[in-house]
Amino acid sequence: MVYFRDQMKNKSSNELRALTGWERIALRLGQPPGQVYLVTGHSSAYTASLIIGCAAGQQIAVVDGAMRFNSYLISRIAAGLDLEPKDLLRRTHVTRSFTAFQTEAAITTRLPEFLQRRSCGVVLILGLLQTYYDEQIHVHESEHSLHRVLQTLHRVKAQNRHVLIAEVDVENPPEGKEHLFGMIRAATEVTLSIQPVDAGYELIEQRSIEWDETTNPSPWSLTGTE
């Protein structure tokens, strides 16, 4: 058992060392005001968002639309952060969604109700667009549903909770849905882009541009930016 824990800690430590820049974001998530973040770029965006959320020292609510959450990964992250895996798992609350309609219900209905009962300071959304790219939901429905989801997440943020949306880059999104990622980006205040570096990956922070006379607001924007 000790050997297994040592192996798990070594693996998780490698994951944490390969990603730079997460510490400053985790510190920010431990204090108000709440913000909406987009973690994007490399496929490690899911793991990066979980590392940041787990390191924030808060109870975490996770909506997993990409099927990327598993208890073994959380245990590895806990080992790398010198936390007890069972304690971290105990303060991590997960729901999964398999369709866009389940995703919307999970975020717009179940999440606010859950947050009334639990003092989660961090909300993680893993693969928000994964279910919206499904051909069973039409473009028009996707736009309106996603808009309602993003509005809800901003209301969550207004309660001084931090929201992290983890979304990997998709080279060829379904026809007619190419703009959905832009909707998410326009609704977030901070974009954390994962860029490859010699030793692994680095989180590059970009803040949304404030709207002015030279910026045309998107009709779907929640922040007044494209």
Structure tokens at 5: 């824990």
Candidates 22, 27, 120; CA nearest to 80 is 22
pLDDT value of residue 9: 45
Structure tokens at 167: 């979304």
Q: Which CATH architecture has domain 21-67+86-207?
A: 3-Layer(aba) Sandwich (3.40)
CA angle, corner 38, sides to 68 and 89, nearest 5?
A: 40
Alpha-carbon gap, residue 10 to 29, rounded angstroms:
26
Sequence-distant (≥ 6) Cβ neighbours of residue 35 within 8 angstroms: 28, 157, 162, 163, 189, 190
pLDDT value of residue 202: 82
Structure tokens at 148: 């309602």
pLDDT value of residue 221: 41
Alpha-carbon gap, residue 91 to 74, rounded angstroms:
11
Residue 84: φ, ψ to 5°: -75, 120
- Domain spans of the chain? 21-67+86-207
Model pLDDT for residues 123-155, shown as the tens digit of each residue:
999 999 999 999 989 999 999 999 999 999 999
- The tokens 């050997």 sit on which residue? 3
Give the residues of the chain that fall short of pLDDT 70.
Answer: 1-18, 208-226
What is the secondary structure of 75-137 as a DSSP string? HHHHHHTT--HHHHHHTEEEEE-SSHHHHHHIIIIIHHHHHHHS-EEEEEEE-TTTTTTSTTS
Q: Is the peptide bond before 33 cis (omega within 30 degrees of 0)?
A: yes
Model pLDDT for residues 80-93, shown as the tens digit of each residue:
888 999 999 999 99
pLDDT value of residue 61: 97
pLDDT value of residue 4: 32
Asked whether the beta carbons of 55 and 26 are under 8 A apart, the reply is yes
Structure tokens at 195: 């860029």
